[in-house]
Amino acid sequence: MTAMDYYKNRKVLVAGSTGLVGMALTRRLSESGARVRAVVHTTPPPVKYPGVEYVTADLTGKEDCRRVVDGMEFVFLVAANTSGAATISATPLVHVTPNIILNALMLEAAYTAGVLKFMWLSSTTGYPDTGARPVKEEEMYNGDPYDVYFPVGWMKRYTEVLCRMYSTKLKKTMCVQVARPTNIYGPFDDFRWETSHVLPALIRKVVERQNPLEIWGTGDDVRDVIYVEDFAEACLSILEKSTTYDPVNVGLGKGYSVKEMVRTLCEVEGYKDAKIVFNSNKPSMIPVRLIDATKAAAKYGFKAKTDLREGIEKTAKWYRDNLAIVKR
């Protein structure tokens, strides 16, 4: 049985269905024959998939949480208040309270409704600083998160404790699984300057032929990035095989510097005369964040298929076709 067969005719909720991950999950589940309910907040879905029930809700409200989980067997909670380095640097608390409320209410509502399996997206921001060494799942609490990630990192850790509680510490448990993704990118990403992460911001700058091409930081920061379709596959495969809380790193399993990303982007887009300028006065995040991705492969059978170049090609084409103001 494939992951797609597993979800056929099952009642599945995707909370955060109009975001990067939510769009990919909703499409895949729709294609699998699942009975999908997709939660919409303020942003209408850019594409509506066949057979999907779209419901509008505010998941920081208890009654809305109860309403959307009613009758569901599986829940993918991919809704979150997120942003990039600039917002985190300027307003470090922006992701704390709203996300804690949303996560806690959705877990409680799903548990009360008798949901069978629940997946929540954590983050590598919760890990302590491990330098250039890939971090393993069991290292999450081996020290505080990196200072710049302290608020959001502890928010993620707190919610993981709740996930563990519902999955292992109650008389009647609910299978709650946690994926810890690296930087996810792809079609339907957030390309707004105020809130985008590093790779979509770079894609926008290159596709739109910004000149000079300003890169925040020194360009030496190293990240593991994963294409969204690969990540959606990971979520579906991991939840299928899960029986309890067992956090899993999900990424490409390889790091690239920002300079390498920019170089690949310029090659893919044919931007040969780009004048690249690095601005170290602009906010950047930690120098290196790499993950050990062996558990996802060994225990859950997942390995990312899309390398950086292919993922960039697909994402840049999608941005160019759908959002870009191209200057050529």
Q: What is the pLDDT of residues 265-281, one digit of tens each?
A: 999 999 998 899 988 87
Tokens of 34: 């699942």
Domains and CATH numbers, the chain: 3-185+227-252+290-305 (3.40.50.720)
Report d(CA 73, CA 233) in Å as an integer: 19
- Tally of CB atoms within 10 A around 327: 9
Asked if pLDDT for residue 88 goes beyond 70, the answer is no
CA angle, 18 as apex, 111 and 227 as ends, to 5°? Answer: 95
Asked if pLDDT for residue 182 goes beyond 60, the answer is yes
Asked if pLDDT for residue 308 goes beyond 70, the answer is yes
Do the beta carbons of residue 149 and residue 93 sit within 8 Å?
no
SS3 assignment, position 223: strand
Count Cα neighbours of 11 within 13 Å in the Cβ-side half-sphere: 11
Asked if pLDDT for residue 74 goes beyond 70, the answer is yes
Report d(CA 250, CA 255) in Å as an integer: 13
Q: Which amino acid is at 285?
A: M
Whole-number pLDDT of residue 283 = 62
Average the pLDDT over 201-217 and give the result. Answer: 92
pTM of the model: 0.93
The closest alpha carbon to 99, from 117, 118, 78, belongs to: 78
Whether omega for the bond prior to residue 287 falls within 30 degrees of 0, making it cis, is no
End-to-end Cα separation, the chain, in angstroms: 48
Tokens of 180: 């810890």
Report d(CA 35, CA 127) in Å as an integer: 35
User: Helix and strand tally (H, E) in the chain?
Assistant: 11, 13
Residue 116 DSSP one-character state: S
